[in-house]
Structures are given as structure tokens and as C-alpha cells.
Amino acid sequence: MMAGGNFSTRQRSSSRTKIIFFSLLAISALVLIGLGSAPPAKENDYLIKETDYPKKHIDWIVTYTAGGGYDTYSRAIAKILPKYLPNRVNIVIKNMSGAGGRRGSAVLYRSKPDGYTLGMLNPIGLMTSDIVKKSTEFDITQYTYIATCVRGVAGIFVRANSEFNTIKDMQSAENVKFATSGRGSGTWLWGKLIKGIWGVRVHMVSGYLGTTEYITALLRKDVDAFTIGFTSPLIPYFKSGEIKPLLIFTRESWDLVPGSATLKGTPFGELEDFSNDRVIAGPPGLPDEMALLLERSLLNALNDPELQEWSKATNNPLYIRNAEETVVSIKKTLELVDKYKDYFKD
């Protein structure tokens, strides 16, 4: 098991061996030095001596506004996590929205690596905003990644009575209006990919503030379609027959709306890795033993029966990955950003 995850190989008794990494827009190679994983941890290997941690509450940064998906998941996890920590303390949610999640992400990055500040990040959102303007406030490869709690499944969504039923229909149109929150957002990234890969004449209509506004604009016929990376808010509209998926970006069949078109059998299955994951992380430099303790505690909390029941009852699915799996996923996405980087140019 890794001692938390970042883009370096951790060694318990020596300095970390760095990965020579790359710019998001100029990746030429991924060179690994000292490639390998940490030795398996024994049962008590990662417990902080004398279990004096945590001594006080732990701040949990949510990089988006209260009431949204990141906030909802964070509060649900924060309710369960304390019972799996060595000392039961409160998890205090701090909403730090702004700049498409960059503000809160920067605060987390600058936080002291003492185990008292965690956060839920949107890696694909940070990557796409970096395409537009490279951040000087954080480096996505240097956070201490602890776990993933959600894997977002992206897709193209249209009105149920839309003239567009397939990608081929969109390819034949003179103009297809897609709702977006603006340049550098996840919806902007998908619009660029749809235009570049399938040749759809995408016209992005910007200024919408999130999924609720995308839905309103679609049903009002202000736009023809939108893309989002997390589909739970759409479930009531699938059930009511107002909105339908045109294409779901997954390699497998999609159980939520059986019969939906997916990437299965196409050459574009790798696009599934442009997923809107919700990742729990700490600042760079979090000590190994603390990162391991937090990873174990979070994995236990995510598998807790109460949280699992909440997930089912509220249609907020959980998708659990440990630290190492989280890092592997983020690396794949970074590689895809580089592969398709020419599509993101204006």
C-alpha cells in the first residue's frame, strides 16, 4: 500500500524519489526514476506512535459552493469519518469556491502538511483551467492524494424530443449549440473534444453557472445540448422523459438508462478517462504515516454501511479508489490532455 499518493515513489526511511514530470501542454515523455511501489504495510505500520493524532478538528476544504455535489459528498463523508480516526474529532467543512475550484485548491496546496487540512478536488477541472491559464498557485502533481470517492461518467445530453438522436445527426447539422460555464471549464473541454474528434460544428453558449442552469437552458430550447461529467442530477429528468443521453463516455453499457449509446466498440474508449472524479487530497509533503492513516480511515468510512445506504437512497453513487489507484487515474488523464491538446487551441 502506498503512503498516500503523489507523483513520486515514497520510501519510509529515505527521501522521496521524484518522477520527472511534465507540463500539461508540453508533455514529451513520462520518465520514472526508481520505479516501484512501497513495501506492503503491516497492520500497525502506519499508525502514528502513541496515536496522538488528531488532537483537534480537521478542516475539509470544498472547492465549490454549498449545496452542490462536492459539498454534498463532503458533508456525508465528514459525518462518518470521525469514527474511523484514532481520536474522534470533528471534520469541519469549509466552502472556498471561486475561479472554477482553483481558489480552494490553492488554499489546500499552501496549507501546512500536518494532517489538519484536507480537501475534495476536481482534477479534470484543474487540468482544463490550466490549459487556458497555467497556475502558479499549485502543481496538480504534488498534492498528497488519499482516495477517490466518485467517478463521474460524462455524456452528451439532449431534450427527449430533440432532432438529435446520434452523433451522426449532430455531424449533419450546420450548428449545434452547447451550454457551457465558460472557457477552461469541463463543459468547454468536452465541447472542444466533440468538435475535434467527431467534427460536430459546436457553438458554445457560455455564461451558465452549473448543471441546474444547463438543464433550464436545454428545456427552454436556448441550447441544443450540454455535456457534464456527473449525471446524478439528471436522473429525475430521465425518469420524467424530458432529457435523454445521446452518448455516454464509457467503455461499457450504462445501467442508468439501459440502451444508451456508449463508446463500446468504438476507437475512442480511452475518453472514459476524461472523468469528473472527486478526489480527496492533502497538501504536498504530508508525512507518510499520516497519509497512510488517513487513507485507511477514509477507505473504511467510504465502505461504512451508513454511507453506502445514504449513497443508494440519495442517488449519489460512490466509486472508491485508494491512493495508488487515484494517482494512476490522474496520470492517465494528464496523458490524454496532452494527446488531445491541439483540440483545445482557440
At 186 the pLDDT is: 81
* Rounded (10°) angle between helices 69-80 and 288-302: 100
Q: Is residue 3 part of a domain?
A: no
At 127 the pLDDT is: 87
At 29 the pLDDT is: 32
At 125 the pLDDT is: 83
At 27 the pLDDT is: 33
Both 195 and 289 in a single domain? no
Both 126 and 51 in a single domain? yes
Q: Is residue 203 part of a domain?
A: yes
CATH number at residue 166: 3.40.190.10
> Range of 97's domain?
8-151+277-344
Both 334 and 237 in a single domain? no
At 25 the pLDDT is: 33
At 163 the pLDDT is: 96
Q: What percent of the chain has pLDDT over 70?
A: 85
At 3 the pLDDT is: 61
DSSP string, 286-318: --HHHHHHHHHHHHHHHT-HHHHHHHHHHT---
CB 184 within 8 A of CB 131: yes
Give the strand pairing for 117-121 and 58-62.
parallel
Which among 209, 239, 272 is the end of a domain? 272
Both 77 and 222 in a single domain? no
In order along its 346 residues, the chain shows pLDDT tens digits of 446 776 653 433 333 322 323 333 333 333 222 223 333 333 434 444 546 899 999 999 999 888 888 899 999 999 999 999 999 999 999 999 887 788 999 999 999 999 999 999 989 888 887 877 777 899 999 999 999 999 888 899 999 999 999 999 999 999 999 999 888 778 888 999 999 999 999 999 998 877 888 999 999 999 999 998 767 778 889 999 999 999 999 988 887 788 899 999 899 999 988 888 999 999 999 999 999 999 999 999 999 999 999 999 988 889 999 999 999 999 999 999 889 888 887 7
Both 121 and 17 in a single domain? yes
Both 120 and 173 in a single domain? no
Both 13 and 133 in a single domain? yes
- pTM here? 0.79
Burial of 346 (0-12, 13-18, 19+ CB in 10 A): exposed
CB 180 within 8 A of CB 218: no
**Domain count within the chain:** 2
CATH number at residue 134: 3.40.190.150
Question: Over the range 21-58, which residues count as b (16 or more CB within 10 Å of their CB) and which as e?
Answer: bbebeeeeeeeeeeeeeeeebeeeebbeeeeebbeeeb
At 52 the pLDDT is: 84
Write out the H or E segment, with its range, that includes residue 130: helix 123-132
| Cα distances (angstroms) measured from residue 227 to each of 2, 135, 152, 245, 247 | 34, 25, 12, 10, 10
Both 206 and 321 in a single domain? no
